[in-house]
């Protein structure tokens, strides 16, 4: 993997002239991980045209030395990063310094500018994201391993769920079994939304009792080697009404059409439209109020955002995205079906293919 880290650093440096900078400060830890291989929770990278300086704190002294192998990275263990940058003259010879606007607080930016004197600062967006959106085969294998755990978790849920359980009961099972099967942790707070609560796209698990004949939407993620899976499935506990079945079939059709359409190099709005048009034509445009999906990797939500709201954005070859259309009907039910896919030049590879998505009725 060292070669890909070096390639990503070189790609960033190749953008310096275009961005009119001669140094870049990367402070968003997942981005630091993509560029160095570091898996700790605290660190930053100061990248110049000729060097890369990694800074962390004393908790990660040995870990950083074990994980970071790039020849041009010097490791410094220091909590007061801006002071250290200034005192050690790590930005010597630079004048225009870029930093991650989306991941730098106002307070941090003010401190940085005050301590690291004599520089012109540029708040940049999208520069690092453009590089780390593209995943390697090895990184996708980690996401696939997380999806394989999710498949076993879903199978366990289907074998154990029954009417009379609460949504919290299911969420607790997901957390326990995921860890037991090897997940490093949950990607986010598990969503379990049953019956009328299915109309809540982010309906976190509650003490609501699951009743016979209700649809249940389950949205959860697992993590392997620092990479996440993110999957949503909707199933039924007891035979659901025909209306609910029809809504499920419509969402499944939209999911499958978007997967058949998606490929690297497409505008995200076109991928979104493949699913959205089907739902809209059936009369449920207003009931599908969120974007089709998002990027996935070391974070559950990364770039690109796969949505009609970003008509000019492109999903590059190599990006991993989610495809998750949904219909949410207040006081009635909700359905969402989410898959993770790796975009290629000619289509996409479905990472979550082992997780059944047809309507399963648990008696």
- For residues 111-125, average pLDDT: 93
Confidence of residue 349 (pLDDT cuts 50, 70, 90): very high
pLDDT value at residue 58: 81
- Are 135 and 319 in contact by the 8 Å Cβ rule? The answer is yes
- In the chain, domain spans: 2-132, 137-362
Cα–Cα distance measured from residue 347 to residue 341, given in angstroms and rounded to the nearest whole number: 10
Fold of the CATH domain 137-362:
Creatine Amidinohydrolase (3.90.230)
Higher-pLDDT residue of 87 and 271 is 271
**Positions of E strands within 135-271:** 191-194, 214-220, 223-224, 227-228, 231-237, 266-267
| Residue among 102, 40, 113, 107 nearest 77 (CA) | 40
- Are 304 and 268 in contact by the 8 Å Cβ rule? The answer is yes
- Are 208 and 194 in contact by the 8 Å Cβ rule? The answer is yes
Question: CB under 8 Å to 158, separation ≥6 — which residues?
Answer: 235, 360, 362
Cα–Cα distance measured from residue 138 to residue 287, given in angstroms and rounded to the nearest whole number: 38
Per-residue pLDDT of 254-300, as tens digits, reads: 999 999 999 999 999 999 999 999 999 999 999 999 999 999 999 99
- For residues 120-130, average pLDDT: 96
pLDDT value at residue 117: 87
Angle in degrees, CA 151, 152, 154, rounded to 5: 65
Quickly tell me which residue has 């002239």 as its tokens: 17
Question: CB under 8 Å to 244, separation ≥6 — which residues?
Answer: 215, 236, 332, 333, 335
Per-residue pLDDT of 44-86, as tens digits, reads: 999 999 999 999 888 888 898 899 988 677 777 766 888 888 8
Per-residue pLDDT of 173-232, as tens digits, reads: 999 999 999 999 988 899 999 999 999 999 999 999 999 999 999 999 999 999 999 999
The answer to whether the Cα torsion of 249, 251, 252, 257 is positive or negative is positive
Tokens of 271: 């991928």
Cα–Cα distance measured from residue 254 to residue 249, given in angstroms and rounded to the nearest whole number: 9
146-164 in b/e burial notation, b at 16+ Cβ within 10 A?
bbbbbbbbbebbbeebeee
- 38-52, 63-77, 114-128, 146-160 — which is least confidently predicted? 63-77
pLDDT value at residue 71: 67
- Are 230 and 208 in contact by the 8 Å Cβ rule? The answer is no
Cα–Cα distance measured from residue 116 to residue 86, given in angstroms and rounded to the nearest whole number: 5
pLDDT value at residue 2: 86
Per-residue pLDDT of 29-43, as tens digits, reads: 999 999 999 999 999
Per-residue pLDDT of 235-253, as tens digits, reads: 999 999 999 999 999 999 9
- Are 299 and 287 in contact by the 8 Å Cβ rule? The answer is no
Q: What is the DSSP string of 27-43?
A: --HHHHHHHH---SSS-
Tokens of 155: 């199978």
Estimate the share of the chain in helix, then strand, then coil, as percent rounded to the nearest 5: 40, 25, 35
DSSP structure class, residue 211: -
| Residue among 125, 42, 35 nearest 77 (CA) | 42
Fold of the CATH domain 2-132:
Creatine Amidinohydrolase; Chain A, domain 1 (3.40.350)
Q: What is the DSSP string of 290-304?
A: S-SEEE-SSSSSEEE
């Amino acid at each position: 993997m060292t070669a890909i880290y070096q390639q990503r650093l070189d790609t960033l440096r190749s953008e310096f002239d275009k961005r009119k900078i001669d140094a870049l400060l990367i402070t968003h830890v997942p981005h630091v991980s993509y560029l160095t291989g570091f898996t700790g929770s605290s660190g930053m990278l100061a990248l110049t045209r000729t060097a890369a300086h990694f800074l962390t704190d004393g908790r990660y002294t040995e870990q950083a030395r074990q994980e970071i192998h790039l020849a041009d990275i010097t490791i410094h263990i220091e909590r007061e990063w801006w002071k250290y940058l200034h005192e050690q003259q790590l930005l010597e010879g630079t004048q225009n310094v870029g930093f991650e606007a989306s991941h730098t607080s106002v307070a941090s930016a003010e401190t940085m500018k005050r301590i690291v004197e004599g520089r012109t600062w540029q708040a940049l967006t999208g520069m690092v994201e453009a590089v780390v959106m593209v995943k390697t085969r090895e990184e996708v294998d980690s996401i696939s391993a997380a999806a394989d755990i999710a498949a076993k978790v879903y199978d366990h849920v289907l074998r154990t769920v029954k009417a009379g359980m609460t949504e919290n009961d299911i969420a607790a099972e997901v957390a326990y079994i995921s860890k037991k099967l090897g997940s490093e942790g949950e990607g986010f707070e598990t969503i379990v939304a049953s019956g009328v609560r299915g109309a809540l796209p982010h309906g976190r698990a509650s003490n609501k009792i699951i009743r016979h004949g209700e649809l249940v939407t389950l949205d959860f993620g697992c993590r392997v080697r620092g990479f996440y899976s993110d999957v949503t499935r909707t199933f039924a506990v007891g035979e659901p009404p025909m209306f609910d079945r029809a809504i499920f079939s419509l969402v499944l059709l939209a999911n499958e059409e978007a997967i058949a359409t998606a490929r690297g190099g497409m505008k995200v709005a076109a991928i979104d439209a493949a699913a959205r048009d089907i739902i809209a034509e059936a009369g449920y445009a207003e009931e599908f109020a969120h974007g089709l999906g998002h990027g996935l990797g070391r974070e559950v939500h990364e770039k690109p955002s796969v949505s009609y709201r970003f008509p000019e954005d492109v999903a590059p070859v190599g990006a991993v995205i989610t495809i998750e259309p949904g219909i949410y009907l207040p006081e009635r039910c909700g359905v969402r079906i989410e898959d993770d896919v790796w975009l290629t030049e000619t289509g996409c590879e479905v990472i979550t293919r082992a997780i059944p998505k047809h309507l399963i009725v648990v008696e």
